[in-house]
Amino acid sequence: MSSEDDVKFLAKLVHRGHLSREEAEPVIGRLKGGAPLDEALLEAEGWDEERVAKMRRTDAGERPEIPGHEILGPLGVGGTAEVFRARERKSGKTLALKILTQAYARNPVEVKAFIEEARLLERLDHPGLVKGFGPAKSDGTYLSRMELVDGQTLQEYLEGGHLFDEEAAFRITLEVAEVLRYMASEGLVHRDVKPGNIMLSQSGRVKLIDLGFCAQQDACDADGTARGTVQYLSPEQAEGGAQADIRSDIYALGVTLYQLTIGSLPFEGDCDEDTLRMHVMERLSSPELKSHAHTPLLHYFVEKMMSKDPELRYQSWDELVTQVGEQVEGYASLDFKSAASQRGQGRGVSGKGRGRGAGRSSSPGRGRRS
């Protein structure tokens, strides 16, 4: 292997978190002195030959080796983890493996959060939640075994240029609300509701994924900052230090309903700080939402769910589920469906997908407060 190839592989080891930049410095010094990379890793980092060989064999972990599993290919990359399609050799079952990246596996706080999420997915049981089979650790690699969901996230649909007609958007909103109602009955708030965390299976079933920011109701983070994705934070979260509250999840679901039907976000600033300010200060003003392409009821639901004042939003999931459920059931009889199709043909989308796995997170902007 050439020295140039060694430098590229060392850069990959750093990029994927196997070495910090500081740890790479003495290795670089040995490379400049003419030593091969493998020898430099053995001498400067104290790695053993098996570890070096594994890094080479797995291309720095891009093709992970997990005992008892055959890795079939990548499914997606999130903020802290990668997800792979895998086959369990003993049972032959295909599932999704969510693997904590090495950069975060070196942080005990991140490891703790990853394990807690895996255990939470294992404990919870709802058809609208991706099912977890528990955490595991293999040779320093932390992983979570999960149900494989063949489909796409709503964000992937949006990025592909698809918009959802009102009936489809309300049905999705209803199914997500029912999952969040179940979580609330378990004393939990999701805190990261968004299209990137909602999947449509090939059968059209909604699956809520990624409980990385999930918290007990009324919990407040020790550092006093909100958790979630900037574009979906409620005004009280955007101001910082808000307790975990179902009404913030309702706000985020309202943003999602808006995005599914309009195709853009209601508030998009030049930077995260600007977007947060808009959530707090600016009223929702959308000519598209008020246009003839949409019914007044869509405008009503979005306005109520996204009210700046949490007291004016729905105060319980029961209330929201009841009203949205009535809307879904009454669509045909009230003739909203035919009217909407005449005004905006080609906006509907089916639940068919390309085949993705649970745990994929692809959100607009990765700006998260943490």
Domain-embedded: residue 64 = no
Question: Are 213 and 309 in a shared domain?
Answer: yes
Predicted local confidence at residue 14, as pLDDT: 95
Share the mean pLDDT of the chain.
Answer: 85
CA distance 307 to 315: 12
Predicted local confidence at residue 163, as pLDDT: 92
Question: Are 105 and 217 in a shared domain?
Answer: no
318 is catalytic: no
Question: Are 192 and 310 in a shared domain?
Answer: yes
Which stretch of DSSP H or E encloses residue 215? strand 215-216
Residue 367 pLDDT level (bands cut at 50, 70, 90): very low
Q: Taking the C-alpha atoms of 47, 49, 51 and 55 in order, what is their torsion angle to the nearest 10 degrees?
A: 110
Predicted local confidence at residue 353, as pLDDT: 36
Domain count, the chain: 3
Exposure string for 2-37, b = 16+ CB within 10 A, e = fewer: eeeebeebbebbbebbbbeeeebeebbebbeeebeb
Q: Which of 6, 165, 192, 221 is catalytic?
A: 192
- List, for residues 194-221, the tens digit of each pLDDT value: 999 999 998 889 999 989 889 998 777 6
CA distance 75 to 105: 20
Predicted local confidence at residue 76, as pLDDT: 87
Domain-embedded: residue 62 = no
Question: Are 132 and 157 in a shared domain?
Answer: no
Predicted local confidence at residue 365, as pLDDT: 36
Q: Of the candidates 93, 111, 146, which is a domain's last residue?
A: 146
Question: Are 312 and 258 in a shared domain?
Answer: yes
The 3-state DSSP class for residue 101 equals coil
Domain-embedded: residue 293 = yes
Q: Of the candidates 78, 111, 146, which is a domain's last residue?
A: 146
Residue 363 pLDDT level (bands cut at 50, 70, 90): very low
The 3-state DSSP class for residue 317 equals helix
Domain-embedded: residue 123 = yes
Tell me what the mean pLDDT of segment 36-60 comes to. Answer: 93
Q: What is the pTM of this model?
A: 0.81
Exposure string for 204-220, b = 16+ CB within 10 A, e = fewer: eebbbbbbbbbbeeebe
Residue whose C-alpha is closest to residue 191's, from 256, 262, 244: 244
* pLDDT value at 12 more than 60: yes
* pLDDT value at 344 more than 50: no
Domain-embedded: residue 200 = yes
Residue 168 pLDDT level (bands cut at 50, 70, 90): very high
| Planar angle of CA 331, 333, 334, nearest 5 degrees | 65
Domain-embedded: residue 37 = yes
Q: What tokens were used for 170?
A: 């309300």
Domain-embedded: residue 266 = yes
Question: Are 140 and 286 in a shared domain?
Answer: no
What range defines the domain where residue 306 resides? 151-369
Tell me what the mean pLDDT of segment 76-97 comes to. Answer: 93
Q: Residue 260: give its domain's CATH number.
A: 1.10.510.10
User: Which of 126-130, 171-175, 253-257, 268-272 has the weakest average pLDDT?
Assistant: 268-272
Question: Are 325 and 234 in a shared domain?
Answer: yes
CA distance 353 to 2: 42
Question: Are 114 and 235 in a shared domain?
Answer: no
Domain-embedded: residue 135 = yes
Q: Of the candidates 32, 57, 82, which is a domain's last residue?
A: 57
Question: Are 83 and 40 in a shared domain?
Answer: no
Predicted local confidence at residue 8, as pLDDT: 93
Question: Are 299 and 332 in a shared domain?
Answer: yes
Q: Residue 123: give its domain's CATH number.
A: 3.30.200.20
Question: Are 43 and 191 in a shared domain?
Answer: no
- List, for residues 106-139, the tens digit of each pLDDT value: 999 999 999 999 999 999 999 999 999 999 999 8
Tell me what the mean pLDDT of segment 152-163 comes to. Answer: 94
* pLDDT value at 356 more than 50: no
Predicted local confidence at residue 227, as pLDDT: 73
Question: Are 117 and 170 in a shared domain?
Answer: no
